[in-house]
Amino acid sequence: MKPSIPSEKDSSAITQKELQSQILDAVNKRKNFAIISHPDAGKTTLTEKLLLYGGAIQQAGAVKARGEQRKVTSDWMELEKQRGISITSTVLQFEYSNKTINLLDTPGHQDFSEDTYRTLAAADNAVMLEDAAKGLEPQTRKLFQVCRMRNIPIFTFINKMDRPGQEPLSLLDEIEAELNLSTYPCNWPIGSGEYFRGLIERNSKDVLLFSRAERGKQSSEIRLKIDDPKLSDLVESELLQKALEELELCEEVGSEMDMKLIHSGELTPVFFGSAMTNFGVRPFLDLFLELAQGPIARTTNKGPIDPLNSDFTGFVFKLQANMDPRHRDRVAFVRVCSGRFEKDMTVNHARTGKQIRLSRPQKLFGQERAVLDDAYPGDVIGLNNPGMFAIGDTLYKGNKVEYEGIPCFSPEIFSWLRNPNPSAFKNFRKGVNELREEGAVQILYDTDQSKRDPILAAVGQLQLEVVQHRLEHEYGVSTLVEPMGYQVARWVSGGWSKLEEIGRIFNCKTVQDSWSRPVLLFKNEWNLNQLIDDHPGLELSAVAPVVSGVDPISL
Ligand code: G4P
């Protein structure tokens, strides 16, 4: 199925005023968000339901075929299918209620937090999905912290209300106490689990009645006024009374609606529902579109750039090789930040100073792609990447600007990557270099040039498996990984000369990164702290400083 991909306007010559008004219209129409959640909270299910509303897929189950091995529109890698996990992230664009919505899909597994982190750099809003029975879970907490660092507005969807869950008030208390995030419930559940009867909408006080459907089937959503006499036949009065009292309590002592606090990420609108039965999803989407922020001004070295600025600017937040194994291509995902992007546009590449003509920009939709004619702030475009783009690169028209870089996570797992078959060296080298450029894994090297095997430096164990799997399936090389026994990495400020000043260091291994900068590997935090105590003047950084303007060394 090909998604319908409308073009906003054809790219014939237009006046500056017309261009400004096109950009304004497009910015007003756009909302962009990512979903953050712990595995199994229902992200795939919710995504599927949202896409259904947008008409982007035709039937429930198209995203995930029940009964078969899990297959998701946005899950296309072989390993994902085998393991039933979501590793890679992609972009899903759909139209709904006269809005263009960009859903930036994020990998569900914690070992791929770094990819999620990069995707969140391109998102204007986040939806935090919770399982009503489990409340906050570790991965949600971790990703929430990333949103907080970026002040991204957070909308909470408490899922699986059709199953027994925790008390709604304690779920809100947990968010307030643990995340230091104020809550504003937009609806309130009547009962839960077996006794889940529906939702009371906070604004209208209407009741949305839940009717239990067969597994996998959509429930109906009947709306009744709170004083409708029929209600007493349909909902037990004690359940309704309890829900009304709890909602009243929220109104009396809870936070007030405040758009400024929502947009600064300090107040989260909360919605209850059940993605699987598609209950409460449409009311959530409708209100989300009202409350979410549109494409925002983003920070560059020249200050924030207004999305309405008529000069196109954008940055690369993700690279992905072999998205389509038939074509063996590499795609750079670019978040459009200002102006209008047009097919065949010549843009400047800030890091290298080169001019690039972008003749085949793509609109991405999970696995599907189509050539796009134009794109606006909040959109994501795919550019074929013949090794030219790196994560964090800025593309611009007009005056030179550079968007803030996207820092890496500090790796915690280090393994030698061995290639036992010397005749496959060329493919091995190509694969390692391309996966490093993509950010699939960080690569370090021994300082001894004779040891040519690269060191994989990862945040999660599964990252190593993915690298091996992809080297085998995409580059035809079987590899071995050999753990090195280190757990902590630190970059040395001041580089090699600083290290020489210090002289011999014990209990750590010195290696170099792809930019020939020294990195110290420690077996544990204790050894690291010992070094810091011995050399108070030594400045160490847990993440690789962002590099601009220099290409990295390769194998
Ligand atoms: P994820 O992407 O966040 O990992 O979660 P996913 O949507 O795959 O959902 C995880 C499980 O939770 C699935 O069940 C899914 O059907 C179920 N689920 C999602 N939303 C709801 C809900 O609102 N109510 C209930 N009761 N269950 C929900 P599964 O048994 O793991 O898979 P399947 O057999 O249903 O495919």
pLDDT digits (tens, 9 = 90+) for 120-171: 889 999 999 999 999 999 888 888 988 888 899 999 999 999 999 999 999 9
Q: Would you say 494 and 425 are in contact if contact means Cβ atoms under 8 Å apart?
A: no
75 lines ligand 1 (CB under 6 A): no
* Mean pLDDT in residue range 486-494: 93
Nearest Cα residue to atom 34 of ligand 1: 66
In the predicted model, is pLDDT for residue 265 greater than 60?
yes
Alpha-carbon distances of 41 from 35, 44, 136, 138, 190, rounded to whole Å: 11, 9, 10, 12, 21
User: CATH assignment of 408-544?
Assistant: 3.30.70.3280
Per-residue model confidence as pLDDT tens digits over 496-517 = 999 998 888 889 999 999 888 9
Q: Which CATH architecture has domain 298-396?
A: Beta Barrel (2.40)
In the predicted model, is pLDDT for residue 525 greater than 90?
yes
276 lines ligand 1 (CB under 6 A): yes
Q: Pick the atom of ligand 1 nearest to 39's CA.
A: 4
Q: Would you say 344 and 324 are in contact if contact means Cβ atoms under 8 Å apart?
A: no
Q: How far is the CA of 81 from the centre of ligand 1 (A)?
A: 16
Per-residue model confidence as pLDDT tens digits over 10-25 = 445 678 899 999 999 9
Which of 89, 221, 276 to mutate to test ligand 1, by most ligand atoms within 8 A of the CB atom? 276
pLDDT of residue 187: 97
Q: Pick the atom of ligand 1 nearest to 47's CA.
A: 7
162 lines ligand 1 (CB under 6 A): yes
Q: CA 39 to CA 159: how far, in whole Å? A: 13
Q: How far is the CA of 173 from the centre of ligand 1 (A)?
A: 25
Tokens for 300, please give them.
């560059």
pLDDT of residue 216: 53
Nearest Cα residue to atom 19 of ligand 1: 42
In the predicted model, is pLDDT for residue 178 greater than 60?
yes
SS (H, E, C) 393-440: CEEECCCCCCECCCCCCCCCEEEEEECCCHHHHHHHHHHHHHHHHHCC
Q: What DSSP element (H or E) covers 20? A: helix 16-29
Which of 35, 44, 45, 158 to mutate to test ligand 1, by most ligand atoms within 8 A of the CB atom? 45
- Order of all β-strands in the sheet with 518-522: 480-483, 413-418, 455-458, 442-446, 509-513, 518-522, 488-492, 540-541
In the predicted model, is pLDDT for residue 101 greater than 90?
yes
Nearest Cα residue to atom 24 of ligand 1: 160
Which of 38, 40, 90 to mutate to test ligand 1, by most ligand atoms within 8 A of the CB atom? 40
Q: Is 49 helix (H, G, I), strand (E, B) or coil?
A: helix
40 lines ligand 1 (CB under 6 A): yes
pLDDT of residue 328: 63
In the predicted model, is pLDDT for residue 548 greater than 70?
no
Domain covering 33-291, topology: Rossmann fold (3.40.50)
The percentage of the chain sitting over the pLDDT mark of 90, rounded to a whole number, equals 56
313 lines ligand 1 (CB under 6 A): no
DSSP string, 229-276: TTHHHHS-HHHHHHHHHHHHHHHHHSPPP-HHHHHTTSEEEEEE-BTT
Q: Do domains 33-291 and 408-544 have the same CATH topology?
A: no
Rg of the chain over Cα atoms, rounded to whole angstroms, equals 25
* Mean pLDDT in residue range 66-76: 39
Q: How far is the CA of 43 from the centre of ligand 1 (A)?
A: 8
Per-residue model confidence as pLDDT tens digits over 357-388 = 988 887 776 656 677 889 999 999 989 877 78
pLDDT of residue 434: 86
Q: How far is the CA of 72 from the centre of ligand 1 (A)?
A: 13
Q: How far is the CA of 148 from the centre of ligand 1 (A)?
A: 27
Nearest Cα residue to atom 11 of ligand 1: 40
Nearest Cα residue to atom 29 of ligand 1: 40
Q: How far is the CA of 114 from the centre of ligand 1 (A)?
A: 24
Residue in 184, 234, 238, 168 with CA at minimum distance from that of residue 207: 234
pLDDT of residue 284: 97
Q: How far is the CA of 275 from the centre of ligand 1 (A)?
A: 8
37 lines ligand 1 (CB under 6 A): yes
pLDDT of residue 197: 93
Q: Pick the atom of ligand 1 nearest to 48's CA.
A: 7
Per the DSSP assignment, residues forming a β-bridge with 34 are 104, 126
Per-residue model confidence as pLDDT tens digits over 395-427 = 999 999 999 877 677 889 999 999 999 999 999
Nearest Cα residue to atom 22 of ligand 1: 160
In the predicted model, is pLDDT for residue 5 greater than 50?
no
Give domain limits for the chain. 33-291, 298-396, 408-544
pLDDT of residue 204: 93
Tokens for 166, please give them.
């925790």
DSSP string, 146-173: HHHHTT--EEEEEE-TTS----HHHHHH
Nearest Cα residue to atom 35 of ligand 1: 66
71 lines ligand 1 (CB under 6 A): no
Tell me the average pLDDT of the chain. 85
Query: Who wins on pLDDT, 245 or 215?
Result: 245
**Which has the minimum average pLDDT: 77-86, 248-257, 325-334?**
77-86
